[in-house]
Structure 1
Amino acid sequence: MPLASITAVASALTAVLGLFVAHLAYRGYRRHESRTMRALAIGIVSIAVVPYLILYLFDPILDLSDAASLLAITLSHTIGLAVIYRTFDR
């Protein structure tokens, strides 16, 4: 199996698992009206799902350069981490 195929499969599994975990966090938000769980769901989607969408959906459609794709993915990770950081009590 070529390395590109392995990478695509691993990325897809990460996105699916991220969606599942985000779904669980969102259910926790709905059940307990917890803003923390909602923020956690948003953070997980930003870290695990959005980069997959950028790389395999938006990149081919918009014909992004490597630098633009990398910037968009890095910004998505940063936003996700910032949202998750905000869930911690100070």
Structure 2
Amino acid sequence: MDPLLVRAAVAAVGVVVSLLVVYQAYRGYLRNGSRAMRALAVGIALLGTVHFLLLLPGGTSPELDIGLSILRQLVDVVGLAVVFYALTRA
């Protein structure tokens, strides 16, 4: 089986699951008006949806893979910081 196809399938499933979790967190924000739930939804969107979307174009060149890997790591760090904020400050 083609590794790029497997990567795309895993990324697609990750995006769908992540969007379901983000939707639930956003509904919690709308229901309660809680800044923490809004921040949690944003953090999960970065950690899940954006991260997995950045997996899709990979595999076309080594330079692109390195750049996307760095970008994914930066998105993950920002997402974790937002989740940390949601759990401690909001």
Q: Identical aligned pairs, as a percentage?
A: 36
- TM-superposed CA distance for 1:71, in Å, is 1.1
RMSD over aligned CA atoms reads: 2.0
Cα displacement (A) at 1:65: 2.1
- In the TM superposition, structure 1's runs of 4+ consecutive aligned residues that sit over 4 Å from their partners are none
Question: How many equivalent pairs are there?
Answer: 86
TM-score (norm 2): 0.82
Whole-Å separation in 1 of the counterparts to 2:71 and 2:43: 15
Q: CA deviation at 1:10?
A: 1.1
CA gap of 1:6–1:66, structure 2 versus 1, over 3 A, is closer
Query: Structure 2 regions of 5+ residues with no counterpart?
Result: none
Q: Kindly tell me: are residues 55 and 89 of structure 1, through their superposed partners in 2, closer, same or farther at Cα, counting changes over 3 Å? A: closer
The answer to whether the aligner puts 1:22 opposite 2:42 as a matched pair is: no
- 2:38 corresponds in structure 1 to 38
